[in-house]
Amino acid sequence: MNQDQLKTLVAQAALQYIEPGQIVGVGTGSTVNKFIDALATVKQRIRGAVSSSEASSERLRAHGIAVLDANAVESLALYVDGADEIDPHGCMIKGGGAALTREKIVAALAERFICIADESKYVPVLGRFALPVEVIPMAAQQIARRFAAHGGVATLRLQGGQPLRTDNGQHILDVTGLCIDEPLAFESEVNNWPGVVCVGVFAHQKASVCLLGTAEGVRTLRF
């Protein structure tokens, strides 16, 4: 199976975790788009969804699925999202789609994080994928210097030749050259740097389950 087929496979497998009457937390990205399409086939079973991006909200509404404001929900039974990388402990790098801050907010509402990914995303140590960091624009260069002290190279993400603006109106730095062998401590440290809105390490909100698409089918990892 190709990567697109693996994404479809894990997206459909995630439906088994949805129980009648639930409000489902929904992430962002190409794998999640497959999940939203799959969710539409059982939409009569759920009360609605809390979405992590404008793009996902549009796709959910197009399928006739009600999108609820996160402030209107006290908790979620589960949050379904992809990952750019996931390690053997369930810690992830996320933010390739620039929605990391809202993804982390919705993930924090959920009792369980169901990660859906193909096997190329499974790594022994985080850091091969460029780490996205959402920043307040005036702090970008200061934050880039801090990453340089950690051996990282921070590059401002562009869109159409201009700095990309997130749904929150902020910028993204993509940081290469990192080896994140202590994700929890690293996430805590970077979150304390002035000007950082959100770092794309998900260790405090790590996965509970990962549905990993492989050539042999869906492999279920529990953390």
What is the domain-level CATH number for residue 160?
3.30.70.260
Q: Is 21 left (phi over 0), alpha (psi -120 to 50) or beta?
A: left
Phi, psi of 71 (to 5 degrees): -70, -15
Tell me whether residue 19 is one of the annotated catalytic residues: no
**What residues contact residue 71 under an 8 Å CB cut-off, 6+ apart?**
none
What is the maximum span of the chain, computed from C-alpha positions, in angstroms?
52
Domain match, 111 and 19 both: yes
Report residue 134 as tokens.
């959402």
Domain match, 34 and 100 both: yes
Domain match, 52 and 89 both: yes
Helix (H, G, I), strand (E, B) or coil at 192: coil
Phi, psi of 99 (to 5 degrees): -110, 20
How many domains does the structure of the chain reveal?
2
pLDDT for the residue numbered 218: 97
Q: Which residues are annotated as a binding site?
A: 28-31, 81-84, 94-97, 121
Of the candidates 74, 77, 82, the one whose C-alpha atom is nearest the C-alpha of residue 53 is 82
Domain match, 25 and 77 both: yes
Report residue 192 as tokens.
């304390």
Domain match, 154 and 192 both: yes
Domain match, 214 and 151 both: no
**What residues contact residue 205 under an 8 Å CB cut-off, 6+ apart?**
104, 107, 108, 113
Of the candidates 32, 47, 134, 143, the one whose C-alpha atom is nearest the C-alpha of residue 84 is 32
Candidate list 54, 58, 103, 119, residue with the active-site label: 103
Domain match, 213 and 178 both: no
Q: Which residues are annotated as a binding site for substrate?
A: 28-31, 81-84, 94-97, 121
Domain match, 70 and 93 both: yes
Domain match, 156 and 111 both: no
Domain match, 177 and 151 both: yes
Whole-angstrom distance, CA of residue 163 vs CA of residue 157: 6
pTM exceeding the 0.85 threshold for the entire prediction: yes
pLDDT for the residue numbered 17: 98
From residue 60, alpha-carbon distances to 26, 39, 48, 69, 100 in Å are 9, 9, 9, 13, 19
pLDDT for the residue numbered 1: 85
Query: What is the domain range of residue 196?
Result: 131-200
Whole-angstrom distance, CA of residue 91 vs CA of residue 110: 16
Domain match, 34 and 99 both: yes
Question: pLDDT averaged over consecutive 10-residue blocks of the chain (223 residues)?
Answer: 94 98 97 98 97 98 98 97 98 98 98 97 98 98 97 98 98 98 98 98 98 96 98
Domain match, 71 and 7 both: yes
